[in-house]
Structure 1
Amino acid sequence: MAEQNSHYYVPAQSPWPIVGAIGFFLVAVGAGNLVAQLSQTGEAGWGRFILLVGFIILLVMMFGWFKDQISESRAGLHNAQLGVSYRQGMSWFIFSEVMFFAAFFGALFYARMISVPWLGGASNNAMTAEVLWPSFEAIWPLTTTPGGTTTQAMGYWGLPLINTIILLTSSITIHFAHTGLEANKRKQLTLMLGLTILLGMSFLVLQVEEYIHAYQDLGLKLDSGVYGNTFFLLTGFHGMHVTLGTLFLIVIFFRVLAGHFSPDNHFAFQSASWYWHFVDVVWLCLFVFVYII
């Protein structure tokens, strides 16, 4: 590896930000059309193809941007001052993700603690509740929609509990991978990091199984009232973050196999570890507030 650059490195112009913006735009358009078509006709429509193209563009952007960053780092263009900037940037990024999920948890809190009691006649709203939804019962999970459709709630036992154990275990394995890197124990690092990736993939497979169970056996769908909305919104976005985190760890894993990182210089690994712990904490909150309470 080349010696560290003594000056603050300013990278050249990159095409990856605009490529990523295009990818995210196509994902938003495709996902919006897909959800609309499924709810109206029961068929996927053209939105699935736009969604797929968007995801492919995002994958190309991620690996292209990672490649450029890795090349710059291995060429010795980065220095300690730039490392501080990277740490600040990653910290603010995770904070923005915390606020992202806080908004969704806020929507869940509003629906459960304010809207449901209000519709049930709380706070002197008995007359309004009688007009809006006469047969309404102020209970949660709200498994009956105004149209009369009834679904079943997703319990915390079974797949959700197994997935919780999987993610908690993955936090332990990524921690031991980190300690192995700091102690320059490459075998421990490789083994624990690889196990973390397998656990992340297992979580995603079981979440797909959970969604199939929800749709086919419980009748719990995205259009199943506010309970279905919040359930799939929170768990779906979390699943997307687990997917991104797993891809992040896979890139780090191949870098480890290539001999990258040292006990004193491994922020890319550290940032992946931070992100994975964040994903685990969000799931614990989901498990408590969405599945148990």
Structure 2
Amino acid sequence: MSLETLTNALQHIRLPRSQQDRLNLAVGTAAVLGSAILLPAAYRDYRLFKSYGPGGVPNNLLGWMTVRTLFQPFGREMLSTEVYLRRIDAAEGHGRGDDGYLTLSTEQLESRKNDGRPEVGPHVVPQRQLTQIPDEDVMEVRFPVSRGVFMQKLDSRFTSFGLRNHHLVKFQPSNLERHSDALFLADHLPITDLATTMQGEIAHIHSGSDYSLHVVLAPADCKKVIDAGWGQRHAFSGTSAMTFLSLGTLSDIPSEYLLIYAPRNDAEIEIVMEIISAAVKFMTGREDVR
């Protein structure tokens, strides 16, 4: 390139003439660089959200934006147990004090400790685990003629439990998940304050997803489960987030609302079913669980 050509090219470059021009140039450059960095990260976060499947909020772009912009700031830590000690000491509820309803042995409760907790997704809703997902050989696929769909072993045990205990519980679509059936308090049983808060819902499985569960347990059982590494609270548990975000149309989630990690073998399915049984005893106030 000749000197004359270079000189002519430089003469046609428009340089910032004022402080405002320089500011506009800086903002534009920052926007371009920021987009190059943030857009790929946002896309990965959206793909992760989509991978959870249906659960409470729409599993689409609108649902993701709602969770990230409106819901996320209301999330709280999920592993401390001081709240349950306070409730036990204050004799709140009907959770049988320090005993609770779980009848699991120490060995059963601590069966997950060596593996550590699974990683749980960063989005407050839906709450799903990302690691320690059950292996395929844990899942027993069946083809019931009446339903014509796949049924997993845990689903089958859950359904059998509910039907066997029809004097205490009933099945209906979960108020919180909306895409799966849950165990609810039977219509003829008296409603406690906690059951009213949960609109009667006791437990549901995230079928077709990670096979984790949400259950409502007695304060003492919540502490046992969290300490043993079998579960954690929901990020909204014990907060006023649900009432605020729904403009009063939904009740808040109590501190006793826990995520139970997915079972990975037959022995862990037995543990999960015992946790569900303890939840039914707590919410119904009855011991005659079959």
TM superposition score normalised by structure 1: 0.26
Q: Give the number of the structure with larger relative contact order, counting CA–CA contacts within 8 Å between residues 6 or more apart.
A: 2
Which structure features the higher share of strand residues?
2
Bigger radius of gyration among the two: 2
TM superposition score normalised by structure 2: 0.26
Which structure features the higher share of helix residues?
1
